[in-house]
Amino acid sequence: MSNRIVIALGGNALGSNLPEQMKAVKVTAKAIVDLIEDGHEVVICHGNGPQVGMIQNAMTELVRSDPDRYIPCPLSVCVAMSQGYIGYDLQNALREEMLDRGIDKGAATVLTQVEVDPADPAFQHPTKPIGAFMTEAEACRLEKERDYHVVEDAGRGWRRVVASPEPVGIVEIDTIRSLVNTDHVVVACGGGGIPVFKTEGNHLKGAAAVIDKDFAAAVLARQLDADFLIILTAVEKVSIRFGKPDQQDLDRLTPETARKYIADGEFAPGSMLPKVEAALSFATSAPGRKALITLLEKARDGIRGRTGTMVCG
């Protein structure tokens, strides 16, 4: 049975630098084209945490080295840059994989703006990790030197955090829908989209933020009237008591159990929590919609109900 699927692709599927990314997208493309080969319509939203941090750090070093020649690069522009170079590698890998399997479909990346509310309280409380993992000493140094906000990230090290406002709507939704309707595989809302808000007249102004790609994917899926939202991450199933001897993997989450586990603090902020929340928001947005959380390489089995955690409304 053919479904319209929006995939939220985790940063682990893209690597941490350019050489890693070029290798990683080939593996990623194979898993995604498995779904296309099964007859599904696919739209891909990807993360950019390591990449956007790398870009902004590089731009900051340029300004520091020659302040008369270079000017600071806004975070929204860094997000746009990351969309371009990740989309470039990803769409080419998808195209190559499809052609190798005899699938005649176009692949296109849409530079996507996502509207946010400038009054969103998230701007006062940065929570979204970007950039590479650091030691505590490195994090403290950047906190002092660059006025960064830093946090310890789920036992994996320290990372910079920036504002992560809720996505309100996809500016280029009509373009994305037209491409999907004409049998294209679309890469959109990269890095959660370029965060913008409306100002005077019809002007859209970039915001100093990074939107969580899982929430952006959920909004994109709703606006495209998708059947499935698939959130691909580093684990096969969502778990409670994660990392403890009595860890329990979950095959299925109802809205009631999901909300209970969220209230109990079972899911780590900045890690599994936004994935479960995004899956829940999509699955409960209309009858018949489902969300799946699983590993990249398990996507095909997951959509067939063989693995992963299914979130149903």
Residues belonging to the active site: 11-12, 128, 213, 275
Residues in CB range of 38: below 8 A, 6 or more apart: 300, 303
Interatomic CA distance for residues 11 and 153, integer angstroms: 15
Q: Are 276 and 309 in contact (CB under 8 A)?
A: no
Interatomic CA distance for residues 7 and 21, integer angstroms: 18
Amino acid 197 reads F
Q: Are 87 and 14 in contact (CB under 8 A)?
A: no
DSSP structure class, residue 74: P
Give strand pairing partners of 159. Answer: 151
C-alpha count within 13 angstroms, C-beta hemisphere, residue 310: 16
For residue 83, give both structure tokens.
Answer: 């969309």
**Closest CA relative to residue 4, chosen from 180, 135, 259, 266:** 180
CA torsion 86-91-96-98 (nearest 10°) is: 140
Interatomic CA distance for residues 98 and 296, integer angstroms: 17
Residues for the chain: how many in total? Answer: 313
SS3 87: helix
Report the helix count and the strand count for the chain, using DSSP H and E. 9, 17
Alpha helices of the chain — where are they, by DSSP H?
18-37, 49-65, 75-100, 136-146, 173-181, 213-223, 255-263, 272-283, 299-303
